[in-house]
Amino acid sequence: MRKMGYLISINCVKLLITALLYTCVCSSSVEQKIYVELNQTVPCVRLLNATHQIGCQSSMSGDTGVLHVLETESDLDWILSSGPHPPYMVILETAFFNRSVMMRMKNSSRVSGVAVIISKTGLAHDFSPHTTCPNQNTGVYSERYGSDLANCNVTVWNPLGNGLSYEDFPFPVFALKDENQTQVIRKCYEDHNQRVNGSAPQYPLCAMQLFSHMHAATDTVTCMRRTDLQNRFGINPEVLCDPLSDFNVWTSSRALNISSKGHAVNESVVIAATRLDGRSFFWEQAPAAEGTVSGIITLLAAVHALYPVTQEAPPPRNIFFTFFQGEAFDYIGSSKMVYDMEKNDFVIDLNNVHSMLEIGQVGLRSGRSLWMHSDPVSRKNDDVNAEVLEMMTRMRSAAAGLNVSVAHPSFTQALPPSSLQRFLRAGLIPGLVLADHQTSFNNRYYESMYDDAENLQVTYPPDLSPDEQLVYETDAAKSLAEVATLVARSLYLQAGGENSSLSNITADPKIVAQLLYSFVIQKNNSWLRSLLPPEVTKKGVNSLLSSGPPQFYIGLGPRVHGPVHSVTRFVQYILANLTGTVTNLTENQCQDPSELSSENKDLFSYFWVSGPVSVNSSSEPLCVRASVRLSEAVSPAFELLEYGSRDYSTWTESRWKSIRARIFLVASRELEMLTLGVGVAVLLLSLLATYFISSKAELLFSSAHDTPTTAY
Ligand SMILES: *[C@@H]1O[C@H](CO)[C@@H](O)[C@H](O)[C@H]1NC(C)=O
Ligand SMILES: *[C@@H]1O[C@H](CO)[C@@H](O)[C@H](O)[C@H]1NC(C)=O
Ligand SMILES: *[C@@H]1O[C@H](CO)[C@@H](O)[C@H](O)[C@H]1NC(C)=O
Ligand SMILES: *[C@@H]1O[C@H](CO)[C@@H](O)[C@H](O)[C@H]1NC(C)=O
Ligand SMILES: *[C@@H]1O[C@H](CO)[C@@H](O)[C@H](O)[C@H]1NC(C)=O
Ligand SMILES: *[C@@H]1O[C@H](CO)[C@@H](O)[C@H](O)[C@H]1NC(C)=O
Ligand SMILES: *[C@@H]1O[C@H](CO)[C@@H](O)[C@H](O)[C@H]1NC(C)=O
Ligand SMILES: *[C@@H]1O[C@H](CO)[C@@H](O)[C@H](O)[C@H]1NC(C)=O
Ligand SMILES: *[C@@H]1O[C@H](CO)[C@@H](O)[C@H](O)[C@H]1NC(C)=O
Ligand SMILES: *[C@@H]1O[C@H](CO)[C@@H](O)[C@H](O)[C@H]1NC(C)=O
Ligand SMILES: *[C@@H]1O[C@H](CO)[C@@H](O)[C@H](O)[C@H]1NC(C)=O
Ligand SMILES: *[C@@H]1O[C@H](CO)[C@@H](O)[C@H](O)[C@H]1NC(C)=O
């Protein structure tokens, strides 16, 4: 009898272990067979400002739903009311990704997530997920300043904006970028989930699971307070969100001494500015071709055209070229530079600023007219008005003989969203914003994934190799070169240069072509590689030169990602090439030239770059000296610890653990229930067995002790 009990218990334990092992092995192989991981997806993530959270997130363990492809209006009805298998994971065709559809999903408890097919087929004539009045609360116009112009009262700059990027979705939203993976999803849907003659499909059904749980919630104030608390008490030191940040890039026609801060004696500078970033609904997806790239390229090509002339026939005023990062998120870069100037923590201060010319969206497309926007409020001051009028006159004379025309909109119109607004908040600065729109933007895809090469009309004849495309002067390149020439000549005149030198200032369409190719088609090309440091161009070290065009989302910058890892770096090294001098320094000297009497770190930066590839297809790295600088682009709100600031950007990005997407087949509810039931039964059995063993333990194990030689 004793022996019997002992044997039973041993066998029982064995059985349990076997069962457990079996379950483990079995379930992992099942996982391998059934789950299809989708690795070519892009999430929408959560961003926070002083008062709101926007974006998307899943629950902690991911959200699951039965797949349904939204192709017709009746699908929408099926998903939102009649379909028998909620919640649904909705696959959206491009044509359905608009505000009305998304808001109906947001309002429904029957939707567990959305995956948007990103393709050009079915793309609407216009699509902008941005707001109609970008950076409405952080520009210059407010109750105190031009109140009748505030909130885009006179001109709505982005009337096509549907505001989707600023909504808060309680479910995950992903973009599907890869055709082949989209096909896999479609096939799974067609095989298992499609309605047959309007009746419900049968189990098993194809389901999708999306993981994008966000650590931060509510707003930046809450998130930063929680992060600070956790760090102070070391409870569980973990950062929940990070300020959006990166670097501005700047250079000047006459080198400035960066060791001396505050007012620079005898310096009068003309600022030439443009923005460096853009955004879209999805994370790190921001081609920003017309919205941002047109301005970057114009300014870079103008720098290149001006540089030799400013060295040979230097105009009396210095020209200060700057590329502002994070402008899409309430002017992060420009507000920081202005803040530093006010605090005497920058190489120049606001009194050094003579005037400012900003390059806005200048894609032109097929048009030929450019518009000089100015601020009617500051022009009520006679001195400012006189200088603004002179700037316009200079610009018109610079345009003479060029294939573009410049005009100015009516006097009562406000400035479009621009960095100049942040300078005007700090003082009376004469300035113009050059753009290709008289009133609202011409750009029909502002701050969306579709503001790409095609939107900027960059197209190549068929059968060109990548190297031929790189230098091919498209019509877009030619017209941007015209704009760049106009900008360069205007800046030269504005800096007090002589009219007679103007004919020597002409932007090179070949440089523009290379810039266009690098910024909207393919960054991994021989030209850009030759300008970057050798370690960047080695494969696999990092993804800076991955395939495709660069993305212009500001990101979290060096605090999180280490050294500058973005488009900032491209602009920095391109500027170094366009304005720099090749030196004969060795790699070590280049990294630290302070020992050499001939070199000066106060005035110059030193760049160790790959160099052009020679005939034997290897490149000789070399050291370039240029007065190109980076300056922090992080909102002053985070320096001042004013996380609820109304004056400065407060945007932060939530952190997350994992972003994943997968599809798999689910069995019927009944089968699931059965599986659950069996699981519960096994659990109960094992509990019972444990109870039995432990209650009879004395009996069982002491007896075993008594008769150690008992065999079985
Ligand atoms: C995605 O997964 C496929 C196979 O499942 C693999 O071949 C491919 O390299 C993966 N891509 C990325 C970007 O990880
Ligand atoms: C949204 O998309 C649906 C389907 O394409 C269309 O019927 C509807 O008119 C669109 N709504 C808007 C506001 O564009
Ligand atoms: C949201 O749903 C409620 C009912 O559930 C309805 O009354 C309301 O009109 C809906 N709102 C939108 C924007 O569809
Ligand atoms: C909007 O502008 C008009 C003049 O263009 C002005 O009469 C009106 O008061 C303004 N509205 C607000 C709210 O400032
Ligand atoms: C934060 O963002 C939301 C959504 O766009 C906006 O309504 C709100 O005004 C913003 N808050 C501040 C302080 O700018
Ligand atoms: C898709 O699959 C086809 C054939 O299976 C392949 O030729 C093509 O390169 C794939 N496309 C992508 C983007 O992976
Ligand atoms: C769908 O309905 C049509 C006519 O109503 C019928 O001929 C066809 O067989 C049905 N298909 C299925 C799969 O039941
Ligand atoms: C730059 O400024 C610093 C501090 O004012 C000064 O010590 C240094 O000599 C200056 N360098 C040059 C090259 O003018
Ligand atoms: C500033 O300029 C004036 C006139 O050009 C000159 O006399 C003076 O020496 C300059 N001061 C400095 C510090 O360079
Ligand atoms: C223009 O350039 C030519 C040669 O590049 C030079 O000879 C001429 O002096 C320049 N003109 C002016 C006004 O700088
Ligand atoms: C700029 O790049 C071109 C092409 O790689 C190269 O020939 C030239 O020497 C570079 N100039 C400087 C100053 O780096
Ligand atoms: C580099 O060039 C300078 C003159 O430009 C010369 O004095 C120096 O000796 C050179 N250094 C080397 C290492 O060749």
Q: What pLDDT, on a 0 to 100 scale, did the predictor assign at position 688? A: 83
Instruction: Characterize the bridge pairing of strands 111-117 and 47-48.
Output: unpaired
Cα(103) to centroid(ligand 2), Å: 12
Q: SS3 letters for 20-49?
A: HHHHHHHHHHHHHHHCEECCCEEECCCEEC
pLDDT digits (tens, 9 = 90+) for 50-89: 999 999 999 999 999 999 999 888 899 999 998 888 899 9
Q: Do 267 and 207 belong together in one domain?
A: no
282-291 pLDDT, tens digit each: 998 999 999 9
What is the per-residue pLDDT for 701? Answer: 53
Residues 398 and 442 reside in one and the same domain: yes
Ligand 4 atom having least distance to the Cα of 412: 5
In this structure, the answer to whether residues 375 and 470 fall within a common structural domain is: yes
Q: Is residue 530 part of a domain?
A: yes
pLDDT tens by residue, 550-571: 999 997 766 666 666 689 999 9
Q: Give residue 566's pLDDT.
A: 80
Residue 570 pLDDT: 94
Alpha-carbon torsion (324, 325, 331, 333), positive or negative: negative
**Geometric angle at alpha carbon 133, from 132 and 139, rounded to 5°:** 165
State residue 27's pLDDT score.
Answer: 41
Residue 179 Cβ contacting ligand 6 at under 6 Å: yes
Residues in the chain: 712
Give CA torsion, residues 280, 286, 508, 495, to 10 deg: 60
- The string of pLDDT tens digits covering residues 228-251 is 888 787 767 788 999 999 999 999
How do the residues of the chain divide into helix, strand and coil, expressed in percent and rounded to 5?
Answer: 40, 20, 45
384 assigned to some structural domain = yes
User: Other CB atoms closer than 10 Å to residue 594's CB: what's the count?
Assistant: 9
Regarding whether 173 and 296 lie in a shared domain, the answer is no
Checking if the pLDDT of 29 tops 50, the result is no
How much distance in Å is there from the Cα of 70 to the middle of ligand 3?
20
Report residues whose beta carbon is within 6 angstroms of any ligand 4 atom. 147-148, 153-154
Instruction: Report the nearest atom of ligand 11 relative to the CA of 626.
Output: 13
Q: pLDDT grade, residue 677 (50/70/90)? A: low
pLDDT value, residue 86 = 87
Sign of CA dihedral 561, 291, 443, 420: positive
Within this chain, do residues 313 and 183 fall inside the same structural domain, yes or no? no
pLDDT value, residue 32: 39
Looking at residue 202, its pLDDT comes to 84
Are 519 and 413 part of one and the same domain? yes
* Residue 372, SS3 per DSSP: strand
Is ligand 3 within 6 A of the CB of residue 103? yes
Structure pTM?
A: 0.89
Is the residue at 182 inside a domain? yes
| Substitution site in 47, 48, 51 for ligand 5 pocket (most atoms within 8 Å of beta carbon) | 51
Choose from 177-181, 275-279, 409-413 the range with maximum mean pLDDT. 275-279
- Measured distance CA(225)–CA(219) in Å, rounded: 10
- Same domain for 293 and 197: no
Judge if the beta carbon of residue 619 lies within 6 A of ligand 11: no
Place of tokens 């106060």: 602
**How many angstroms separate the alpha carbon of residue 696 from the centre of ligand 2?**
71
pLDDT value at position 1? 45
Task: Give the C-alpha separation, 553 to 559, whole Å.
Answer: 16
**What stretch of H or E contains 299?**
helix 294-312
What is the pLDDT at residue 676? 64
Query: Looking at the CA of 514, which ligand is closest?
Result: 11
Q: Average pLDDT, stretch 432-442?
A: 96
Assess whether 207 and 254 both reside in one domain: no
* DSSP track, 243-265: E-EEEEEEEESS---TTS-SPPT
DSSP 173-192: EEEE--HHHHHHHHHHHHHH
Same domain? 336 vs 202: no
Query: What pLDDT is stored for residue 33 in this prediction?
Result: 45
The mean of the pLDDT values for the chain is: 88
The answer to whether residue 239 sits within a structural domain is no
For residue 253, report the distance from its CA to the centre of ligand 1, in Å.
47
Range of the domain at 210: 35-127+162-214+659-671
Average pLDDT over residues 434-441: 96
The 10s digit of each residue's pLDDT in 647-675 is: 999 999 999 999 999 999 988 765 566 66
- pLDDT reading at 440 higher than 90: yes
Query: Distance, CA 104 to ligand 3 centroid (Å)?
Result: 8
Q: Is 115 helix (H, G, I), strand (E, B) or coil?
A: strand
The alpha carbon of 199 and the centre of ligand 3 are apart by a number of angstroms equal to 27
20, pLDDT greater than 60:
no
Residue 700 lies in a domain: no
Does residue 699 surpass a pLDDT of 80? Answer: no
In a domain, 677, yes or no: no
**Parallel, antiparallel or unpaired: strands 369-373 and 431-435:** antiparallel
- Reference 115, options 214, 210, 213, 212; nearest CA is 210
Are the C-beta atoms of residues 399 and 439 closer than 8 Å to each other?
no
The pLDDT assigned to 358 comes to 98
In a domain, 174, yes or no: yes
Mean pLDDT of all residues in 45-53: 96
CATH at 305: 3.40.630.10
Radius of gyration of the chain (CA): 31
204 in the same domain as 276: no
Pick from 10-24, 134-148, 213-227: least confident: 10-24
For Cα atoms 20, 23, 26, give the angle at the middle one, nearest 5 degrees.
Answer: 145
Count the Cβ atoms, other than its own, within 10 Å of residue 598: 7
Cβ neighbours of residue 700 closer than 8 Å, sequence gap 6 or more: 2, 5, 6, 9, 693
Query: Tens digit of pLDDT for each residue in 390-416?
Result: 999 999 999 998 999 999 998 789 999
**Confidence band, pLDDT 50/70/90 cuts, at residue 319:** very high
What is the pLDDT, as a whole number, of residue 675? 61
What spacing in Å lies between the alpha carbon of 271 and ligand 9's midpoint?
22
Together in a domain, 394 and 337: yes
The CB of 184 under 6 Å from ligand 3? The reply is no
Number of domains in the chain: 2
Residue nearest to atom 3 of ligand 3 (CA): 107
Of the ligands numbered here, which is closest to the C-alpha atom of 623?
A: 11
Strands 245-252 and 628-634, sheet pairing: antiparallel
Q: What's the confidence (pLDDT) of residue 23? A: 45
Residue 259 and residue 194 share a domain: no
Tell me if 474 sits within 8 A of 453, measured CB to CB.
no
Segment 308-312 shows an average pLDDT of 94
Say if 305 falls within a structural domain.
yes
- Confidence class of residue 11 from pLDDT cuts 50, 70 and 90? low
Per mean pLDDT, which range of 260-264, 531-535, 556-560, 583-587 is the poorest?
A: 556-560
Could you tell me the CATH number of the domain that includes residue 664?
3.50.30
